Amino acid sequence: MIVLFTDFGVEGPYTGQMTAVLLQSAPAVPVVSLFADLPPGQPKPAAYLLAAYARWFAAGTVFVCIVDPGVGSDRGALIVEADGRCYVGPDNGLFEIVLRRASRNRVWQIAWQPPALSASFHGRDLFAPVAARLARGETPDSLGRQTQAMPQPGWPDDLAEIVYIDRYGNAMTGLRGMALSPGARLSAGGRVLAHAETFSAVPQGAAFWYVNSNGLVEIAVNQGRADRELSLAVGAGIEIFS
């Protein structure tokens, strides 16, 4: 399976063009778009989401990860192998948390070159063809040379910030549930929030935090929108009182 993890938007032609390239190059491999609406141009929140969501896919999955504000600059282009999964994308921190948490990993600078490379859409011209080759069984060694990813030493292991807001207004953080005790309180948007197991455990309209289905701490309002009621946006900081 090839999984798309991008900030292209659910609109527009970009996901469709990527999918067409992948289906033409690796016709037997299903393509699934996991995220098309990552926070635009921000590799940092995306790095925490990728680490939380990728764990959930089988070994052998190839992720094409594109949050690439530096396209056209000289930032590198990577293949990452971590705990049996493969990742392809720009060298801008997107793989930092996956790499840090992996029990074993290797990284390659992509050396393969497409017949034509546009200045602004390396997803279609470089990363999708490389992902299709990996999905068809070509080795990373045949496509690049081993290297290290550019490190992001200032990024914490768990990020006390909002990294994504979903359709219901629930606000995901970059904190793993295992990093907090259930008795911990969070402060977000000027409110102090206690833990609950589920939405139905709190009264209608009450704000709370819980560990979501991918293991991340999420802030929600039962039958309401946490983003509006607590004025939360991607990048907003969270305080933890444990």
Shortest gap between Cβ of 158 and its own copies (angstroms)?
A: 19
Measured from the CB atom, the residue of 5 and 95 that comes closer to its own copies is 5
Shortest gap between Cβ of 41 and its own copies (angstroms)?
A: 7
Measured from the CB atom, the residue of 68 and 81 that comes closer to its own copies is 68
99, with CB counted inside 10 A (0-12, 13-18, 19+), is: buried
Shortest gap between Cβ of 142 and its own copies (angstroms)?
A: 25
Shortest gap between Cβ of 200 and its own copies (angstroms)?
A: 4
* Binding interface with its own copies (CB under 8 A): 1, 3, 7-14, 16-17, 19-20, 23-24, 27, 30, 32-37, 40-41, 49, 53, 56-58, 69-73, 118-121, 124-125, 164, 166-168, 197-201, 210, 212-214, 223
Measured from the CB atom, the residue of 108 and 126 that comes closer to its own copies is 126
Measured from the CB atom, the residue of 52 and 108 that comes closer to its own copies is 52
Shortest gap between Cβ of 190 and its own copies (angstroms)?
A: 25
Measured from the CB atom, the residue of 39 and 140 that comes closer to its own copies is 39
